[in-house]
């Protein structure tokens, strides 16, 4: 979308910070959390990661269908309840990983209850009192936690497949079936909890730019897996590709029109990886 320069810069800055934050949290999780270290030891080419990939894709379709059903029935309380549950579950994982890192095996038996209490308080604040800035911040924490955990479970090749599938799905859902637009409008009625990062324009208080949660989570999954399994070079290339893809939309898109960001970011990441693989092979 064409947008005021300040807002565009903020969108890109938050996007880049989220991707880098996801990488940091992935390494934090792997090197400080026992079960994740064991997960990383599994090959990315055995059957299990592809089973995880199938679960993720099926879950996405099921949740999307369920949300559309609830939106058409105007079941706002059920939608908010679902988001509250997901937020609580992910934040509990986040706090457990953070606390385990400081205490290790000595604190492991005692991590659960403090993590649950902290998550419950954050969720209560998020849905009852938080303004847009704090909701954005909490959303970023939730998104990078999801991305890190899924990257560890999948590995590079399944992550590439996931990115490709989501890119196609994003394009179809926005430009052909258009059900993603229906979903976005419905979620906005409930303040878009957990659905996106929202940036308000100072020039027009009623105008806003939105970056979907999936537009952060899915590129971050591939980036994290590249850093964890390969090297900083491959991971950095994936960051550059993701930022370039989003920049094309921000600078070339029309204001007020919705664009499927993953339909550009995904192919850009795959292209960068393909070119890099070809160059290194030659």
Distance CA(24)–CA(220), nearest Å, equals 11
Single pTM value for the model: 0.88
Note the pLDDT of residue 198: 77
Note the pLDDT of residue 165: 95
Model confidence pLDDT, tens digit, residues 95-107: 888 877 666 555 5
Domain ranges of the chain: 5-274
Mean pLDDT throughout 206-211?
66
Distance CA(70)–CA(110), nearest Å, equals 38
What token pair was written down for 99? 């606390």
> Mean pLDDT for the chain?
84
Note the pLDDT of residue 51: 87
Distance CA(5)–CA(2), nearest Å, equals 9
């Amino acid at each position: 979308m064409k947008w005021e320069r300040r807002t565009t810069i903020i969108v890109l800055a938050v996007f880049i910070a989220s991707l880098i934050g996801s990488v940091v949290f992935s390494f934090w999780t792997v090197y400080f959390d026992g079960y994740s270290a064991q997960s990383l030891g599994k090959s990315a080419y055995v059957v299990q990661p592809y089973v995880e990939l199938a679960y993720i894709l099926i879950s996405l379709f099921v949740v999307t269908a369920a949300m559309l059903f609830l939106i058409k029935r105007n079941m706002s309380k059920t939608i908010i309840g679902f988001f509250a549950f997901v937020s609580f579950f992910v934040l509990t994982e986040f706090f457990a990983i953070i606390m385990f890192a400081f205490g290790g095996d000595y604190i492991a038996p005692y991590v659960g209850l403090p993590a649950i209490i902290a998550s419950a308080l954050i969720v209560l604040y998020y849905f009852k009192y938080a303004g847009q800035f704090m909701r954005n911040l909490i959303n970023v924490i939730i998104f990078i936690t999801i991305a890190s955990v899924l990257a560890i479970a999948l590995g590079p090749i399944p992550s590439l497949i996931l990115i490709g599938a989501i890119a196609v799905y994003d394009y179809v859902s926005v430009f052909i079936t258009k059900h993603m637009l229906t979903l976005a409008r419905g979620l906005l009625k409930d303040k878009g909890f957990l659905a996106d990062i929202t940036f308000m324009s100072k020039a027009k208080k009623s105008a806003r730019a939105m970056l979907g949660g999936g537009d952060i989570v899915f590129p971050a999954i591939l980036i994290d897996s590249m850093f964890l399994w390969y090297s900083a070079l491959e991971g950095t290339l994936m960051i550059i590709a993701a930022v370039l893809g989003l920049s094309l939309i921000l600078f070339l898109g029309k204001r007020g029109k919705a664009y499927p960001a993953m339909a550009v970011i995904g192919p850009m990441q795959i292209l960068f990886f393909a070119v890099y693989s070809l160059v290194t092979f030659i």
